[in-house]
Amino acid sequence: MLVTARLRPPDRIVEVADVRRVADLLGHLDVLPGAVLVIRDGTLLTSQDELRDGDQVEVRFAISGGA
């Protein structure tokens, strides 16, 4: 099972094997679930949602800096 994750910002793409749920993917990427949104086909996924082989998801960081 292979999932392709596009992380941004900054933009980069990683492939992750053997992750069943979104929580597993975020754990593998060492990303805090509370700092990102995971998007598949324009829809938001929760940490408990299951991933499928060949899934392409976006892991979008929701933290922004600035004054």
Partner 1 sequence: MAMRCKRCRGAVVIEVRRHNAAFCRDCFFHYVGQQVTRAIAKHRMLAPADRVLVAVSGGKDSLALWDLLLELGYRADGLYLSLGIGAYSERSKRVCKEFAAARGATLVARDLAGEHGYTIPEAASKGGRSSCGVCGLSKRYVFNRAALDGGYDVVATGHNLDDEAAVLFANTLRWDTAAMARQFPVLEATRPGLVKKVKPLYRLAERETAAYCILKGIDYMVEECPLVGGNTQMRHKETLNRMEEESPGTKHSFLFGYLERAAELLRVADVAELAECSRCGMTTQAPDDPAEAPVCAFCRSKARLVKTLPVVEVSAG
Binding site for partner 1 (CB under 8 A): 8-11, 32-37, 39, 42-44, 46-48, 60, 62-67
Token pair listed for 23: 């929580």
Going by C-alpha positions, the residue among 11, 9, 17 that lies closest to residue 36 is 9
- Residue found by looking up tokens 């900054």 in the block: 10
The CB-of-8 to partner 1 minimum distance in angstroms stands at 6
- Closer to partner 1 by CB, 16 or 21: give it: 21
The CB-of-49 to partner 1 minimum distance in angstroms stands at 9
Token pair listed for 61: 């960081």
- Closer to partner 1 by CB, 42 or 54: give it: 42
Helix, strand or coil, per DSSP, at residue 50 = strand
